[in-house]
Amino acid sequence: MTEQPLLRLRGVTKTYGAGPASFLALKGIDLDIEQGEFVAVMGPSGSGKSTMMNILGCLDTPSTGSYTFQGVHVETLTRDQRALLRRYQLGFVFQGFNLLSRTTALENVELPLIYRHEPKARRRIAALEALEKVGLHGWENHTPAELSGGQQQRVAIARAIVSKPSVLLADEPTGNLDSKTSREIMELITGINRQSITVLMVSHEPDMAAYAGRIIHFVDGCVDSDVLNPEAPR
Amino acid sequence: MIWNTLLLSLRAILRNLMRSFLTILGIVIGVAAVITMVTLGNGATRAVSDQIASMGANQLMVVPGQMMGPGSEGAQSFKIADVNAIRSQITSARAVAPVVNKSETVIFQARNWSTSIVGTSNDYFLVGGWTLAGGRTFSELEERAGRAVCVIGETVREKLFQRENPVGGEIRIRTFSCQVIGLLKAKGQAAMGQDQDDTVIMPLRTVQRRITGTKDIKRIVVSIKDGASIDSAKSRLVQLLRERRRLGPSEDDDFRVMDTRQLAETVTGTTKILTMLLGAVAAVSLLVGGIGIMNIMLVSVTERTREIGTRLAIGALENEVLLQFLIEAVMLSGLGGLIGILLGNGASVALSGVMGVPYVFDSSINLMAFFFSAFIGVLFGFFPARRAARLNPIDALRYE
């Protein structure tokens, strides 16, 4: 049995639009990501980094090329099959937090478990545990409007990890936060990575990317550099 | 999956109480309006048919001419021989009464009152289902001799005699005096609204001789024995009168035989049409309520596009999102329908009390209003739900 990386992209391209107005966002990406890595994807806007994240997150499909997730060819899956893959294997953290408004932190964190049909008692225990992990013990019954930006992002991280995913995808997780809060969030994410959850993060701030063990630079739809970061906190 | 989605829908409804309330309100008003209108209409129909039944069941009325009203003047009137022929030849007839009526002013002491004078026989009381509150009906001698005696209705008693006992009193009509020998038990308003108790009843011959001055009879009322067929009595009556009036086979009837059932059908038919009209107006408000639901669901999808994106990213299936929105819509419109049914029936009970019509619970209109509101919920919930569920998660997430 040959060694199979967790995520493997081979010759992945992505075209938006059709005809003369079409735009090639990704120009043939080959990439392997191993279990347990912490990868930061950097690059200017329009460089294709978000497009690649959407493909890795199974939110979008490549135009050509192949993407295997634990040996499964994602490009052949249906919409619902990809949804199930997200449900059981992936956790998402977004720049805009994307919490349900007027809904308590606890209910927000419970949401992925409802879709996983966990029984009520187990759902509650797991959600409380996740909230404690992100340092929000005692804030369970607050709605997003009653929480600061940092706290909202912690709720979002709790929601992403409550289902114990194998990969955490974070799209500019600190984009809307001040630098002190950003560092706290990054330390939280680093801690999650130490519990052998693979982390993929898009960021354009070098300070934040510096937490990652591997930094990939995107320019113009291609991988410009792919380097290990020995300075990363371990 | 249903149970989970039910939980998600319930949370979404409770999370947006104000929006849910507004959605429900439209349906509540629509359903309550339809139920109230139709229930009141049914009550009015019931009231009318009850009153017609109180006129006496199994009743036939024979009038000369084909049309009711002024057009009948030219047709040949009936004579007392016709009445006797009907009485002897229609075996299923229980009572046959000739009727002549005229509006006259009746006077007692210093009070006068304009009322309807009816000239007839004792059978009239039987046919009309009248009972006496006091006194007696006509004697055979009084009928045969055309004596000036009368039986008066409750309204006439009230207007002329007030607190005095009318029986034995003398009232004056035109130039003659008439002794009151009996008082009718009150019957109240008739189906068309006229006061049935506003009447003075005299022997036929008295009215013919002293008031109308002819031997004509304006109509004949017949009551049929219980259990006998009205239709066969009617056809035999028609046959008999055609013979007596010497109508050839090619000639049309120059008289008309109507039964109470027909009359009831005519009158209740009118109120039923009115009920349908009111119901239709109310149905429009139900439709408006449904459009309100559709609007709010559409707006809420726009509002909730990011939320839907989040749900899809977390791993919700398209069907789960669709089902959640459907359940939300059905729950809201179902709840609105239930509240509307309670409110509509409450208003119906209250208003039918005020209007003096019976409250008639109509399960079919309740069920119809409920299922229509649920149907609107499904219909108008489905399209926004489908739009929501088919969104690409990335587009939904980035939606501003």
Distance from CA of B2 to the nearest CA of A (A): 10
Which chain B residue has the Cα nearest residue A112? B314
d(C-alpha B391, C-alpha A193), whole Å? 32
Query: Which position has the higher pLDDT, B18 or B123?
Result: B123
d(C-alpha B364, C-alpha A179), whole Å? 67
| A3 touching chain B per CB within 8 A | no
Structure tokens at B250: 């090619």
d(C-alpha A26, C-alpha B128), whole Å? 97
Q: What does the DSSP assignment read for chain A? A: -----SEEEEEEEEEES-GGG-EEEEEEEEEEE-TT-EEEEE--TTSSHHHHHHHHTTSS--SEEEEEETTEEGGGS-HHHHHHHHHHHEEEE-TT--PPTTS-HHHHHHHHHHHTT--HHHHHHHHHHHHHHTT-TT-TT--GGGS-HHHHHHHHHHHHHTT--SEEEEESTTTTS-HHHHHHHHHHHHHHHHTT-EEEEE-S-HHHHTTSSEEEEEETTEEEEEEE-TTS--
| A111 touching chain B per CB within 8 A | yes
Structure tokens at A15: 């075209």
Going by pLDDT thresholds of 50, 70 and 90, the confidence category of residue B290 is: confident
For residue A1, the model assigns a pLDDT of 42
Q: Taking CB atoms and an 8 Å cutoff, what residues of chain B touch A96?
A: 306
Q: Left, alpha or beta for B224 (phi > 0: left; psi -120 to 50: alpha)?
A: beta
Query: What pLDDT tens digit does each residue of chain A (234 aa) get?
Result: 456 899 999 999 999 888 888 889 999 999 999 999 999 999 998 898 989 999 999 999 999 999 999 999 999 999 999 999 999 999 999 988 899 888 899 999 999 999 999 999 999 999 999 999 999 999 999 999 999 999 999 999 999 999 999 999 999 999 889 999 999 999 999 999 999 899 999 998 999 999 999 999 999 999 999 999 988 886
A170 in Cβ contact with A38 (< 8 Å): no
**What's at A19, amino acid-wise?**
G
Q: Which of A177-181, B255-259, B287-291, B298-302 has the lowest mean pLDDT?
A: B298-302
For residue B72, the model assigns a pLDDT of 47
Q: Taking CB atoms and an 8 Å cutoff, what residues of chain A touch B15?
A: 100-103
- Asked if pLDDT for residue B308 goes beyond 90, the answer is no
Domain ranges of chain A: 7-228
Q: Taking CB atoms and an 8 Å cutoff, what residues of chain B touch A99?
A: 310
> Given an 8 Å threshold on Cβ–Cβ distance, is A80 in contact with B318?
yes
| A78 touching chain B per CB within 8 A | no
> How confident is the model over B122-163, as pLDDT tens digits?
999 988 888 899 999 999 999 999 999 999 999 999 999 988
Residues 359-398 in B contacting A (C-alpha not used; CB under 8 Å): 392-394, 397
d(C-alpha A34, C-alpha A92), whole Å? 18
> Given an 8 Å threshold on Cβ–Cβ distance, is A87 in contact with B318?
no
Q: For B230-248, b where at least 16 C-beta lie within 10 A, e where not — what string?
A: beebbebbbeebbebbeee
For residue B220, the model assigns a pLDDT of 92
- Asked if pLDDT for residue B299 goes beyond 80, the answer is no
| B235 touching chain A per CB within 8 A | no
For residue B325, the model assigns a pLDDT of 82
> Given an 8 Å threshold on Cβ–Cβ distance, is A114 in contact with B7?
yes
Going by pLDDT thresholds of 50, 70 and 90, the confidence category of residue B74 is: low
For residue B1, the model assigns a pLDDT of 62
Query: Which position has the higher pLDDT, B25 or B74?
Result: B25
- Asked if pLDDT for residue B81 goes beyond 50, the answer is yes
> Given an 8 Å threshold on Cβ–Cβ distance, is B1 in contact with A117?
yes
Q: Pick from B314, B324, B327 the residue to mutate for testing the A interface (most A CBs within 10 Å).
A: B314
d(C-alpha B165, C-alpha B186), whole Å? 15
- Mean pLDDT over the full length of chain B: 85
Distance from CA of B6 to the nearest CA of A (A): 11
For residue A74, the model assigns a pLDDT of 94
d(C-alpha A192, C-alpha A157), whole Å? 10
Indicate the residue of A92, A107, A117 with minimum beta-carbon distance to B313.
A92
Reported ipTM: 0.92
For residue B137, the model assigns a pLDDT of 93
Sequence-distant (≥ 6) Cβ neighbours of residue A167 within 8 angstroms: A6, A7, A56, A89, A90, A91, A197, A198, A199, A200
> Given an 8 Å threshold on Cβ–Cβ distance, is B4 in contact with A59?
no
> How confident is the model over B325-340, as pLDDT tens digits?
888 888 888 888 899 9
Give me the CATH topology for the region A7-228.
Rossmann fold (3.40.50)
**What's at A123, amino acid-wise?**
R
Going by pLDDT thresholds of 50, 70 and 90, the confidence category of residue B289 is: confident
| A166 touching chain B per CB within 8 A | no
3-state secondary structure of B193: coil
Which chain A residue has the Cα nearest residue B397? A98
> Given an 8 Å threshold on Cβ–Cβ distance, is A111 in contact with B314?
yes
Q: Pick from A45, A101, A167 the residue to mutate for testing the B interface (most B CBs within 10 Å).
A: A101
Domain ranges of chain B: 2-51+265-398, 96-227
- Asked if pLDDT for residue B302 goes beyond 80, the answer is no
Which chain B residue has the Cα nearest residue A165? B314
For residue A2, the model assigns a pLDDT of 54
Beta bridge partners of A86: none
H helix or E strand, kind and range, residue B119: strand B111-120
Beta bridge partners of B152: B183, B200
Q: What does the DSSP assignment read for B262-319? A: HHHHHHHHHHHHHHHHHHHHHHHHHHHHHHHHHHHHHHHHHHTHHHHHHHHHHT--HH
